[in-house]
Amino acid sequence: MSNRNAWFRRFWPLWLVIIIVVFAWWPGRSIFINTLTEREAQRIADITPAQGAAHTPERLSIERIMTDLHWLADAEREGRAPGTEGSKAAREYIINRFQELGLTPAGTEGYEQAFSHERVERAINVLGSVVGQDPTLRTIVITAHYDHLGVRNGTIYHGSDDNASGTAVLLEMARYFSENQPQHTLLFAALDSEERGLLGAHALFTSGHLDPKTIAFNVNMDMLSRNTDELLYAVGTYHNPWLVRLVQRVQEENGARIVMAHDRPWFKAGRTDDWTLSSDHGPFHEQGIPFMYFGVADHPDYHAPTDTSDKADEEFFRITAEAAFSFTKLIDQVLAEKR
């Protein structure tokens, strides 16, 4: 008896591996995983009820944001696929704005950083910075991808929520910070080819254009304009728990329900998607740079030709834009003090 016990104890890592492998292959495991999903769903349901637009301060111009949204998602832009005329027009629009605002060109050629990849012949990121008050601080990178799926079988995929919305907010944030100097230098990066595998964000690092050691933080915005249950996801606190307090402070002055989720493993969250590597913040995370990603819940128009700008919920979009903005202001302050 005691002998057999010793034998079991001696090989316990082996038994553990066998148990895990059997569990992973066992179809019935979903009973357990679903149980956890319900717990996660309950956690989300328990989060502060939305307090509406009146609860949210107004520092960005939703008129300008909506104008940019309509322009970027217009049928004439033909879904902004990399290398197309629509993409070029969108890029020129962004560059013109950066110029008007007096942003410092931060690409390899003016504001542009061109790159290629086996999945895209030629794509171009647009990079401009607002120089911060304190030159000893590292850079905070604000990202939003401006590309979308383009035209498929003769049908335009407008990509309004995904991601004309984040791009429009990026432009308005650039406007604010060009008039109200931040502590850190803020690099505004309108990225290309996100839809083909976060290629624009990867290219920032693989090209050697950005040195990860010089980057303090990444704020990424992708899909902000659609209202599903007044809900905005804040992704990234699981990896950097010190961000929880900051998101809570943003929530105090924001009317949306800001839910910290979609960044935890299945044994915490069940079968909800993990979005840690699902948009341009992913390559930053892989470089060891802390990030915060803001995005709304999935909706039926996601990656569909029906993702058009008339579907944006203007009142809700104003709130989500303010949330991303509040967070950006806060991270600029907090990291300057923390140093």
Binding residues for Zn ion, rule: CB under 5 A, are 162-163, 222
Fill in the amino acid letter for 195. E
Q: How far is the CB of 110 from Zn ion (least distance, A)?
A: 25
Nearer to Zn ion, 74 or 162 (CB): 162
Contact assessment for residue 275 and residue 263, using Cβ atoms and an 8 Å cutoff? yes
According to DSSP H, which parts of the chain are helical?
Answer: 2-10, 12-25, 30-45, 62-72, 85-101, 166-179, 199-206, 244-252, 266-269, 281-286, 314-338
**CA 161, CA 178: separation in Å to the nearest integer?**
25
Residue 127 makes CB contacts below 8 A (sequence gap 6+) with 105, 106, 107, 111, 112, 113, 187, 188, 189, 190
- Angle of CA points 113, 117, 119, to nearest 5°: 125
Nearer to Zn ion, 163 or 309 (CB): 163
- Angle of CA points 243, 284, 158, to nearest 5°: 100
Q: How far is the CB of 303 from Zn ion (least distance, A)?
A: 9
Nearer to Zn ion, 90 or 130 (CB): 90
Q: How far is the CB of 205 from Zn ion (least distance, A)?
A: 19
Q: How far is the CB of 163 from Zn ion (least distance, A)?
A: 4
The 3-state DSSP class for residue 202 equals helix
Nearer to Zn ion, 251 or 309 (CB): 309
Chain Cα centroid distance, residue 334: 20
Q: How far is the CB of 226 from Zn ion (least distance, A)?
A: 12
Nearer to Zn ion, 172 or 222 (CB): 222
**CA 56, CA 251: separation in Å to the nearest integer?**
9
Beta bridge partners of 139: 215
Nearer to Zn ion, 68 or 332 (CB): 68
Q: How far is the CB of 222 from Zn ion (least distance, A)?
A: 4
Q: How far is the CB of 9 from Zn ion (least distance, A)?
A: 51
Nearer to Zn ion, 132 or 282 (CB): 282
Q: How far is the CB of 295 from Zn ion (least distance, A)?
A: 8
Nearer to Zn ion, 93 or 146 (CB): 146
For 329, list phi and psi in degrees, rounded to 5.
-60, -45
Fill in the amino acid letter for 275. W
Contact assessment for residue 309 and residue 69, using Cβ atoms and an 8 Å cutoff? yes
The 3-state DSSP class for residue 302 equals coil
Closest CA to 317 of 176, 163, 181: 163
Q: How far is the CB of 53 from Zn ion (least distance, A)?
A: 25
